[in-house]
Amino acid sequence: MLGGLARVTDDTSDRRGVLVSDPAGQLAKDVWVVGSEPVAAPRIVARARPDDEAVFVPAMSASIAMVPRVLSDLYWFGRYAERAEDLLRLLLATRTVAIEADLEVTHGRALDVMLHAVTHVSTTYPGFLTTQAEMMPEFRSMLLDRHRTGTAAHSLGALSMAAQGVRDQLSEDVWMVLAEIERALATLAANPHDQGIQLTDISERVLSGLLALAGIATENMVRDAGWYMLDSGRGLERALQILALLRATICQTRSPETDRTVLEAVLIAAESIVTFRRRYRAGSGVDALLELLLIDPYNPRSVGFQLQRIRTDLRALPNTSPTARPLRLLDSLAERVRTSDPVVLAESVDGHRSGLQNLLLGLHNQLRALSEAIRDHYQQQPPTQRPMFRPDAVGGTA
């Protein structure tokens, strides 16, 4: 290499001497080898192979290098991106409710419902289920606490980790977007006295980054096995998130005012409020919401749509017979969603929509089973290598 990697340090007090110093304190330098004349690019010639005539090998015929680990990383890339996006939408919707809550008492109860939903959907227990949880610190933790499972920060960290494992598969734009998200979060972290204004602002910035990520996936990535895996992960996660949100919010009836606020917040969090207003007459209730978010096969935010999407993705993957287990599970799921009647589901007895609750729970479990089936079918990792002797030489985690 005509050049290299230079490292310098600015720490002159290093007791280790001049040769070695702490890598953290070091600074890299580019090494330029310059000439007095313009430099001609060297010609690099491959050793001739026998019968090598530089034949064009069509890439379409070559099998795609997709090992199960890469597929798994891309699948989780899709899932974590969607999980982070949905949680941010829910946080922003809840924040909107909270701003209104100071004015009216009914909103206060709606706020409680939404706060509990945040905890249930993100599974960051105990979260708002304890009485002393305060909204702003908890939201802040949702955005910044990487080590707490279920937070947006946790999902973003896992997203970045999954991306790192498949760096050779991804567009370089991905890193630009992820860096922008990191910068936004760092801005928030640097301001511990924020009263919520910056938090909202940052959430929106992170959300727009995640939307950019979705755009990159749609516009920049070749439709190969990896992309279909990523897209199915995204669809599956979105379906799970919608189900969790519905379970946490509309399975109980409350006062009409509270229900109305909750309904709107759910629609905002599920990014379907505009369609809802346009399509249904004023005063439409849970039945309309269920049709739009659960059954509608044309709303890209509905469960029904995700099931179709996952189906298309899986059919496009090699090694998928029409009777493969993931497809069979998908068929029964889609059938169950298609045949449900929103009017019946919206009926409540003693303030409970037990029929709806059972359906949502059932769908949730079936989706989990589907995710496992996808993992088993496409991402089967080999069993962990372990030695047959010297077990004592192996660390505690082996």
Partner 1 sequence: MTVLRRYLAAASESITAAREPVFDEFAAADGTARQGWSSLLAGLDEFADTDLLQAQHDVVRLLEDDNVTYTPNPASAMSIADEPNGHPHPDMPIPEGLVEPQPWRLDPLPLIIDDREWAGLEAGLVQRAQLLDAIMADLYGARRLLSRHHIPAAAIFDHDEYLRPLVGSGTPTGQRLFLVAADLGRDSSGGWKVISDRTQAPSGAGYAMQNRRVVSRVMPEIYHQANLHRLTPFFQAMRLALVDAAPHAVEDPRVVVLSPGTLSETAFDQAFVASLLGFPLLEGSDLTVRDGRVWMRVLDKLEQVDVILRRVDSGWMDALELRPDSRLGVAGLLACVAGDGQRVEQSRQWRVGESCAYAAATRSVRANARPITATALCRYMVVRRPVSIEPRLEQSGLSGHSADQQGSWPQRPGGSTDEAAARIARGQDQGGAASLCRAGDAAPVVRADERGRSAGSPQRGAPLVRRPQR
319 is a contact residue toward partner 1 (CB under 8 A):
yes
- Residue 183 engages partner 1 in binding (rule: CB under 8 A): yes
Least distance between partner 1 and beta carbon 294 (Å)? 23
Q: Which stretch binds partner 1 (CB under 8 A): 6-14, 263-271, 286-294, 342-350?
A: 6-14
Is there binding between residue 87 and partner 1 (CB under 8 A)? Answer: no
- How many residues does the structure list for the chain? 398
Amino acid identity at 121: V
Smallest gap from residue 248 Cβ to partner 1 (A):
18
Per rule CB under 8 A, is residue 315 in the interface with partner 1?
Answer: no
Which one of 75-83, 106-114, 299-307, 351-359 is the stretch in contact with partner 1 (CB under 8 A)?
75-83
Residues 224-243 that bind partner 1 (CB under 8 A): 225
Burial class (CB in 10 A: 0-12, 13-18, 19+), 279: middle
Q: Distance between the two ends of the chain, CA-based, in angstroms?
A: 40
Q: Which of 53, 54, 56, 57 binds partner 1 (CB under 8 A)?
A: 57
Residue 11: HSE in the Cβ half-sphere, 13 Å Cα cutoff: 15
Q: Which is nearer to partner 1, 163 or 267 (CB)?
A: 163
> Judged by CB under 8 A, does residue 222 bind partner 1?
no
Q: Give least dist CB 38 to partner 1, A.
A: 5
Q: How many CA atoms lie within 13 A of 136 on its CB side?
A: 11
Contact pick of 32, 132, 322, 323 for partner 1 (by CB under 8 A): 32
- Residue 55, token pair as written in the block: 């034949």
d(CA 206, CA 189): 13
User: What are the distances in angstroms from CA 375 to CA 240, 342, 381?
Assistant: 16, 32, 9
CA distances from 251 to 87, 92, 358 (A): 20, 22, 10
Residues in contact with partner 1, shown as a per-residue x/- string from 147 to 176 under the rule CB under 8 A? --x--------x-xxx-xxxxx---x--xx
Q: Is 41 in the site for partner 1 (CB under 8 A)?
A: yes
Q: How far is the CB of 8 from partner 1 (least distance, A)?
A: 4
Please count the other Cβ atoms lying within 10 Å of the Cβ belonging to residue 157.
16
- In three-state secondary structure terms, 349 is strand
- Regarding 211 and contact with partner 1 (CB under 8 A), the answer is no
**Per CB under 8 A, which of residues 336..375 are in contact with partner 1?**
none
Measure the CA–CA gap between 114 and 267, rounded to whole angstroms.
12
